[in-house]
Structure 1
Amino acid sequence: MSAPGRTSSTFTRLLRHGFTDPSAAERLLGAPELAAVRGDPVLLDALGATADPDLALLGLVRLAEAQDDAGRRVLLDTLVTAKPLRDRLLGVLGASEALGDHLARHPRDWHALVTYEAADLHPGVAEFEQCLAGAADPVSLRIAYRRCLLSIAARDVCGTTDVAQTAAELADLATATLRAALAVAREAAPEDAAACRLAVIAMGKCGGHELNYVSDVDVIFVAEAPEGARGADEEEAIRAATRLASHLMRICSETNTEGTIWPVDANLRPEGRNGPLVRTLSSHLAYYQRWAKTWEFQALLKARPVAGDLALGREYVEAVSPLVWQAAERENFVPDVQKMRRRVVDNIPAAQVDRELKLGPGGLRDVEFAVQLLQLVHGRSDATLHHGSTLGALKALAAGGYVGRADAAQLDEAYRFLRAMEHRIQLYRLRRTHLVPQDEAGLRRLGRSLGLRTEPVAELNRAWRRHAAVVRRLHEKIFYRPLLDAVAQLAPGEIRLSPKAAGQRLEALGYADPAAALRHLEALASGVTRKAAIQRTLLPVLLGWFADSADPDAGLLGFRKVSDALGKTPWYLRLLRDEGAAAENLARVLSAGRLAPDLLLRAPEAVALLGDPQGLKARDRAPLEQEVLAAVGRADGAAAAVAAARGVRRRELFRTAAGDIIGSYGTEESPAERDPGALVDRVGNALTDLNAATLAGALRAAVRERWGDTLPTRFAVIGMGRFGGHELSYGSDADVLFVHEPREGADEQEAARAANTVVAEMRRLLQLPTSDPPLLIDADLRPEGKSGPMVRTLASYAAYYRRWSLAWESQALLRAEPVAGDADLGRRFVELVDPLRYPRAGLGEEAVREIRRLKARMESERMPRGADPTLHAKLGRGGLSDVEWTVQLLQMRHGAAEPALRTTRTREALAAARAADLIAADDAAVLDEAWVLATRVRNAVMLVRGRAGDTFPSDARELGAVARYLGYEAGHMGDMLDDYRRTTRRARAVVEELFYGG
């Protein structure tokens, strides 16, 4: 026994070298078998470099004990003098208890690790066949297999091979083993060998050259009668081949004194375990053509002939390959593959899901399924994707532009790390498992085997979770990409088109000018650049989406313009390919009319909004106004300030229009968001908030230019009409009143001059020439109309309304709501006008008659000459004016008694009137439907034509686009007009009774 001081020193040294049980290690180092190397510091350093120094030392002692004296001397001498051997042997012993057991049983097999020549680094099938050549029975085959496995593991743990090379070597070893097993089976039954041609097809990871240390080896057997045999010999050939195949499976799968090699699994064959083990080539083809399920074609991606009659094996692969690449054309192909992946996750026991490295969320299968799905969808037209290995296919997908290079690099790194974890977990005891160990010792050994030495367990958990999170995120992004399903639904000829075929398809899809469309396609997708490659993926699908609109030509032209504008922007095509429904959303927006594309071409970076699930949700007024005021504050001069405010308005106007179009096309997830009334309310609120923020910016710019931060008078902008009612459409003017109140101690005349100057400057700034949709201020609803002053004090408004107010002015004030400027002044203005718009005594009969006369006069005088009164959305029969005047009459009559009626919004007031039993529920529903429909018609006209209008377009394409926006299929414009007339006719009947008194 060592002295206490020395023991303490040894303990410390052993702990420093990574031993967890220094007492046991010290005893093992003192074993007589290691006497020749006991004091050699090189050995201790080498042990400390292994995944588990305690395990490595125990394995070394057992191996030394198993040697005779001469063999032990050779082992220890070589161990000390040959660093490559020392690293290989101790590396294996520290990583694999099972291989340590093998070496203890077969002590001379360590010699397989001696050679370290270049030819030994990456052996292939031929080298492994040579190693297995002497194995004439199952036991010797298992021993030879483990000897080969020992060499693969040594190269792996020493870093001579990476994880992909290790997996490929394991697959090559499996190939050689299948060939050796088949040779043993043939030797045992030479009559069966002569009676058939038998090919062994590797599937799964073996077929893909990416096998695990311990895994079922998936195979399919195909057989034929020998060449020249009679047809009657086919059945005998199948029987003979079945006996050979069964014997091969037993040789590899059964357990004997040397354990087992691995199970040979033939359940991927047609009909699975219920089907015959061996079939002819024609029988296989008949099954795949008629009965095969989607997953069976996915499995065939990795099919590779490995043993037996290789010519027959190649015939099999060549015959089934076209069927594999047609699988994506099957109905519901993409959803079926996605459901299959979800079922795999759902079947994991709850207690294991967080430890499941292969099948769990963020596991290896997430990568494999995503890659295979992309291969099957795009590989129909791109043979470069016909790879059996996951990493090879991923590289090809990135090269072809089907996956972003950064995404592919992250997936590659994560997959390699997870596979390395899987390899080292299985290598420990050579057991088929994909569960990450739970015990501290297992996690420590696993972490150290991956090179994590400072805090192996913590570092392992962090790295594992990080890579799993990357895989999960990218799996969700790629595997559930909407573009995939759309591409899968294209016929093969539609994916890669010749110019002639493209022209014919464009014409068939409804493009009015196929020649021009073809020129756009060639400009976008010709060449060998990555951008062109991604465009070639996108365009076949986009063409179909454009064709689902009233004007496919406009959609394609818009797409070319946007692509040209963003051609050098790296995120643009990546967004369309990868992010949610961005590509479909863009197609809808570009082909729905002129307004949204015009806005987008002036701010093409707004395309990014289409890929964000929240990107088309309107922003609240407060953050919007804050952004506008910040932009104004940074600008140099009033004109630049308003230009900045307009820039925000342009982007937000596009956001609103795009959200409206996409919601109207029925692509919103929530049915509530597809409700026409909800869409109208959303647009009205968004446009109101946007215009209010823009006016706030113009006001700040006008004040700052001359007065800095403080105007000598309080100033507020009151929204009127549709502005105040939150019911703006895309072409609406901003109806406003301006009110001011001199600050305490300020000169009243100076305050009035300042207020008028601000109004004039705001109007001037907002009327500066621009290509954006204009924001026109209309103050004609002010007291005395066009003859009155543009801005008044609060006291002046009070005096006017007290003495001169007319019924129409009280009615107009129903929509009054502060929208910009001094909030307190705006609130006091509302308090001032409330008694006028909601009179306590209600309306007298004379006031009611006056309102009716005004309405009748407006109908007769303001309807445009030649307009069809049954189709005019604003002034026509049952249109906006009819519904609004009816609701407003109810508000003025009953608003004092019914607080819920005190709202500036038409639909809210109508709902309140129904709740108060002031209008029958059926009548309220009729008016609401007509008002919503008329509002949508006005919005549609602006979206389609790019300019405001109250009547349906006369141009057939524009009318078709309005119909599509309103939810009608192509060619149903007549139905749309009939439905509009029917809806508004019913509304007019209610108006006649409620407004005109029947």
Structure 2
Amino acid sequence: MPVEGRRDSRFGQLLRRGFTDPRTAEQLLDSPPLRPVATDGPLLDALGATADPDLALRSLARLVESLPAGERAPLLDTLLAAKPLRDRLLGVLGASEGLGDRLARHPDEWQALVAFETADLHPGTAEFETALAPATDPDTLRVRYYRALLTIAARDITGTTGFAETAAELADLATATLRAALAMAQREAPADAAACRLAVIGMGKCGGRELNYVSDVDVIFVAEPTEGTEEGPALQAATRLAARMMRICSDTTAEGTIWQVDANLRPEGRNGPLVRTLESHLAYYRRWAKTWEFQALLKARPIAGDPDLGAEYQAAVAPLVWRAAERENFVPDVQRMRRRVEESIPAAHAERELKLGPGGLRDVEFAVQLLQLVHGRTDAELRHATTLDALAALAAGGYVGRQDAASLDASYRFLRTVEHRLQLHRLRRTHLMPDDEVELRRLGRSLGFLGEPVEELTAAWRRHTAAVRRLHEKLFYRPLLEAVARLGGEGQVRLGQAAARERLEALGYGDPAAALRHLTALASGVSRKAAIQRTLLPVLLDRFADSADPDAGLLNFRKVSDALGSSPWYLRLLRDEGAAAENLARVLSAGRFAPDLLLRAPEAVALLGDPAGLRPRERSALTQETLAAVRRADSPEQAVAAARGIRRRELFRTAAADIIDAFPPEGGPAVEDPGAVLDRVGDAVTDINAVAIAAALRAATSAATADGAEPPTRIAVIGMGRFGGHELAYGSDADVILVHEPREGADEQQAAKAAFTIANEMIRLLQLPNIDPPLLIDATLRPEGRNGPLVRSLASYAAYYRRWSLVWESQALLRAEPVAGDADLGARFVELVDPLRYPADGLGDEPVREIRRLKARMESERLPRGADPTTHTKLGRGGLSDVEWTVQLLQLRHGAAVPALRTTRTRAALAAARAAGLLSEEDAAVLDEAWVLASRVRNAVLLVRGRPLDSFPSDSRETAAVARYLGYEPGEAGRMLDDYRRTTRRARGVVERLFYEG
């Protein structure tokens, strides 16, 4: 075939392979450097698969020509024989003119792409440090840096790594480079290096391990003097080292530049000192820092220099970052920052700006960071420096819908990949989409759009930016509820979107998006139900916002409304009875216990609208209702289920009254004294549990006898501990002992067997799995404890106490009081034990010493490991145990002589001891205050958490809710803890003087 024919044929082949200038391509292929491979089909195919075949061929020709003649063959032979090298090298040359220029300058660097070991596929900082280690001067460091960059680009272009891995590798390479530069600076100035500890904190995308190919590397410097060096000289030395390190990376030489090191995120920016001590940093952040500075610190990460100092810095600033959302005007500050960024874009560039424009990268980053700062206060799982990791955590935690998160993730990856390809082309910092068709074509092909690259790229870009903008507005602006707090002309709420997030954030809602979903579900539409909800919501939202957990209040309100929304009386009650709506809001936002009870029986909402509805019911009325339900039941299990339902309702009544301060004495003014309220709660919970036990005992007795016959024995349940003392907290166990007495003429063994069967059945029925708060029976205070019989006859108790009773049992019997079962038997049990608990001759020296030894042993052995003795309400210093043992010692010693001391109630006994002159007014007041406070804290913790805890919660929001229950204002949880420690510390002083010394 003639030469011209061969050329025409190759011309067509080049056109089909994507060359836009096939004539020039033919000339290059016919040039001496490339002639040996000019006809190789796989080579031409590989060139055609690159982003820019013309560029790839030109750069390859320059590379081969730059090699000495004797070194060209190995490259060409390897290029022809090894597809991996061919794809890597040509892929890079077709995508990056900048790296092509570097290879032409250092042609032997192509060998870095020959083979990647397994360990090289995903290198980290350590591997890059090894690669840079031979560099002993700045120019060599530049050469080594670009060699490493070449390998990153090759993996990226060929798809060995994705965007996230590439960005992490670039950040790790930057980290290794900074470490090498700092080491050079330290070698150049050993005296400066010896005078200070210097840590380099990575910020921005370097700190987040999501760096671009060409980007400033943002850093902050922190330093401390070494031993023997004054702070001033040490900071001067550190400043010189930091400045030299920056110049090594930023200076331009014959080998080019690496990147600019930017320290403008430091306190005071350009106007502040380059290097500060850790304390100076913290002082600035605590007093002067703006919201955006805490947003920037989200990505702070130690990357070079002294690792211990870097870790100290990170640990010290982290709490400040996660409290930033609590700052006044936090959300408006973030929004204003975002608007300023948008306004700074030149109008001509706004539609082409990948980073700052509408639907650009900043939209994703700002939305993610705002949600992190708002929700990361309480959810440590959100505290990621990397955008995609943080987005995934937000989705996993339910703060962003999974579909929305997946869309943002895909768009962010696409936009960042476009940014990478743009920067890789000429190794220049840019975020502008090109408007030149040739450049758009190359960019599109680099992203895999090989059909119609320009059209496909443009369509994908528009699609992703539109999705980002839509989701950004949804997450960052729209779900805000400013209008919900405003009433329209007809007294109804205007639901709006414009400022909802700001309004809800200002009200204290931690998850405004969820709040808006609840509000939309409650109030959207034209139904009468929605109209009433729109009337109610302003009051309810304001009341929820006044609580420690507004989100929980709104969520619970939606759940109750979903359960009762079709009941005509429900919304009418809330609308027409103003107190009902306000009471409901307070109950629903006060914690978990009361809302959980209400959600299991939503009809109990009706109690909140009746002025007398929250008054605790008398035990006799409760007993009558409960036993009637037991008699109607078809089985013991159904009987106890009915009793549990009544117990649930009454616990809700009591908890609601406690939460909203609705404990008026019968016919009297509202109770304001916390101690009086506590007494009413203790009485109410004691009565509720006593009735439930009586119901279970009745059901168990019926199950154990046939045809309604009487069992051969009578049983009484004796309350012990707080149960007998009418001091039960919401989550307290019911301490009991069980006593029986054979009926006249009954066989004693048969009676004992029947008593054991009934007692076991009673406990079994109470322990059946159910959704209600458990009523745990604890009978270990009986004679011989767990090793003794569960139930004894009255005669057996008399024999035991006469022969074997120990002083601690006499002390335990101080709280013994009949609570259920045969009343006459219970009274005779009390007569039996009175001489034990109120000994006629008082208490001798040895029993007193024994009680003190038991108390000391309990203090040393029973306090849970790791518990703070200053805040443990039961066993801590000045807590419940301290006060109760002190009072009980007085009762044991003086109860026989002072009839008023013969009470099972701690506060009543304390008042009697004071009246009898057994302790001073001041000491009695100190002990009473501490006991009431510790008891109220236990109740508050249970109301807030839904389960008991003998100390303050570790969760800050729960602690804040406890503080609100105790009457503290928002933000005073710290003062609450201080007050508690002060009150109990004073009580402990009295206890040590009266109990251990008196």
TM-score w.r.t. the length of structure 1 is: 0.51
Give identity over the alignment, percent. 68
Residue 387 of structure 1 deviates from its aligned partner by 0.2
> Within 5 A, what are the aligned runs for 1:101-500?
101-226=101-226, 228-229=227-228, 233-480=230-477, 481-482=479-480, 484-485=501-502, 488-489=505-506
Distance 1:541 1:142 in 2: 65
Residue 508 of structure 1: aligned partner? none
Q: 1:19 to 1:594 in 2, by over 3 A?
A: farther
Task: Give deviations 1:337-373, integer Å, cap 9, x for gaps.
Answer: 0111011111100111111100000000000000000
Amino acid at match of 1:208: G
Task: Give deviations 1:52-85, integer Å, cap 9, x for gaps.
Answer: 0000001111111111233211101111111111
Residue 554 of structure 1 deviates from its aligned partner by 11
Are the counterparts in 1 of residues 338 and 366 from structure 2 also a CA contact under 8 Å? Answer: yes
Distance 1:495 1:409 in 2: 20
Amino acid at match of 2:559: R
Residue 558 of structure 2: aligned partner? 559
Equivalent position SS for 2:34: helix
Task: Give deviations 1:420-478, integer Å, cap 9, x for gaps.
Answer: 00000000000011011111111000000000000000100000000000000000000
Are the counterparts in 1 of residues 399 and 511 from structure 2 also a CA contact under 8 Å? Answer: no
Are the counterparts in 1 of residues 507 and 542 from structure 2 also a CA contact under 8 Å? Answer: no
Equivalent position SS for 2:218: strand
Distance 2:120 2:553 in 1: 63
Q: 1:466 to 1:542 in 2, by over 3 A?
A: farther
Equivalent position SS for 1:222: strand
Residue 41 of structure 1: aligned partner? 41
Equivalent position SS for 1:353: helix
Distance 1:588 1:471 in 2: 40
Residue 589 of structure 1 deviates from its aligned partner by 12
Amino acid at match of 2:92: V
Distance 1:554 1:327 in 2: 24
Residue 541 of structure 1 deviates from its aligned partner by 13
Distance 2:539 2:377 in 1: 15
Residue 969 of structure 1: aligned partner? none
Amino acid at match of 1:84: P
Task: Give deviations 1:897-920, integer Å, cap 9, x for gaps.
Answer: xxxxxxxxxxxxxxxxxxxxxxxx
Are the counterparts in 2 of residues 398 and 408 from structure 1 also a CA contact under 8 Å? Answer: yes
Residue 117 of structure 1 deviates from its aligned partner by 2.2
Distance 1:318 1:591 in 2: 49
Distance 1:205 1:65 in 2: 38
For the aligned residue pairs, the C-alpha RMSD in angstroms reads: 3.1
Are the counterparts in 2 of residues 270 and 287 from structure 1 also a CA contact under 8 Å? Answer: yes
Q: 1:358 to 1:341 in 2, by over 3 A?
A: same
Equivalent position SS for 1:402: coil
Task: Give deviations 1:595-648, integer Å, cap 9, x for gaps.
Answer: 9x99xxxxxxxxxxxxxxxxxxxxxxxxxxxxxxxxxxxxxxxxxxxxxxxxxx
Distance 2:76 2:577 in 1: 84
Are the counterparts in 2 of residues 329 and 490 from structure 1 also a CA contact under 8 Å? Answer: no
Task: Give deviations 1:391-438, integer Å, cap 9, x for gaps.
Answer: 000000000000000000000000000000000000000001101111
Residue 9 of structure 2: aligned partner? 9
Amino acid at match of 1:444: R
Number of residues of Structure 1 aligned to a counterpart in Structure 2: 532
Distance 1:223 1:355 in 2: 41
> Within 5 A, what are the aligned runs for 1:684-703?
none
Amino acid at match of 2:189: A
Q: 1:478 to 1:4 in 2, by over 3 A?
A: same
Distance 1:151 1:298 in 2: 33
Q: 1:564 to 1:208 in 2, by over 3 A?
A: farther
Task: Give deviations 1:777-802, integer Å, cap 9, x for gaps.
Answer: xxxxxxxxxxxxxxxxxxxxxxxxxx
Are the counterparts in 1 of residues 207 and 300 from structure 2 also a CA contact under 8 Å? Answer: yes
Q: 1:557 to 1:18 in 2, by over 3 A?
A: closer
Residue 151 of structure 1 deviates from its aligned partner by 0.3
Q: 1:555 to 1:292 in 2, by over 3 A?
A: closer
TM-score w.r.t. the length of structure 2 is: 0.51
Distance 2:273 2:558 in 1: 54
Distance 1:382 1:589 in 2: 38
Residue 229 of structure 1 deviates from its aligned partner by 2.6
Structure 1 portions without partners, runs of 5+: 497-519, 521-538, 567-586, 599-998
Task: Give deviations 1:950-997, integer Å, cap 9, x for gaps.
Answer: xxxxxxxxxxxxxxxxxxxxxxxxxxxxxxxxxxxxxxxxxxxxxxxx
Q: 1:80 to 1:589 in 2, by over 3 A?
A: farther
Q: Which moved more, 1:3-12 or 1:270-279?
A: 3-12
Which consecutive aligned stretches of 4+ in structure 1 deviate over 4 angstroms post-superposition? 486-492, 539-549, 552-558, 562-566, 587-595
Residue 844 of structure 2: aligned partner? none
Task: Give deviations 1:167-217, integer Å, cap 9, x for gaps.
Answer: 000000000000000011011101100000000000000000000000000
Residue 32 of structure 2: aligned partner? 32
Residue 118 of structure 1 deviates from its aligned partner by 1.6
Distance 2:571 2:274 in 1: 52
Q: 1:2 to 1:23 in 2, by over 3 A?
A: farther
Distance 2:280 2:85 in 1: 52
Residue 11 of structure 1 deviates from its aligned partner by 1.4
Amino acid at match of 2:313: Y
Q: 1:245 to 1:10 in 2, by over 3 A?
A: same
Is 1:71 paired with 2:78? no
Residue 585 of structure 2: aligned partner? none
Residue 36 of structure 1 deviates from its aligned partner by 2.1
Q: 1:34 to 1:547 in 2, by over 3 A?
A: closer
Q: 1:56 to 1:545 in 2, by over 3 A?
A: farther
Distance 2:538 2:394 in 1: 18
Residue 156 of structure 1 deviates from its aligned partner by 0.4
Q: 1:542 to 1:65 in 2, by over 3 A?
A: farther
Distance 1:554 1:205 in 2: 38
Q: 1:279 to 1:324 in 2, by over 3 A?
A: same
Residue 669 of structure 2: aligned partner? none
Distance 1:308 1:486 in 2: 44
Distance 1:314 1:39 in 2: 59
Residue 81 of structure 1: aligned partner? 81
Distance 2:55 2:323 in 1: 52
> Within 5 A, what are the aligned runs for 1:495-510?
none
Task: Give deviations 1:118-167, integer Å, cap 9, x for gaps.
Answer: 21110000000011001111111111110000000000000000001100
Structure 2 portions without partners, runs of 5+: 481-499, 513-517, 519-536, 582-998
Are the counterparts in 2 of residues 128 and 176 from structure 1 also a CA contact under 8 Å? Answer: yes
Distance 2:411 2:576 in 1: 44
Q: 1:589 to 1:346 in 2, by over 3 A?
A: farther
> Within 5 A, what are the aligned runs for 1:507-906?
544=542, 546=544, 558-563=557-562
Are the counterparts in 2 of residues 152 and 170 from structure 1 also a CA contact under 8 Å? Answer: yes
Distance 1:62 1:415 in 2: 36
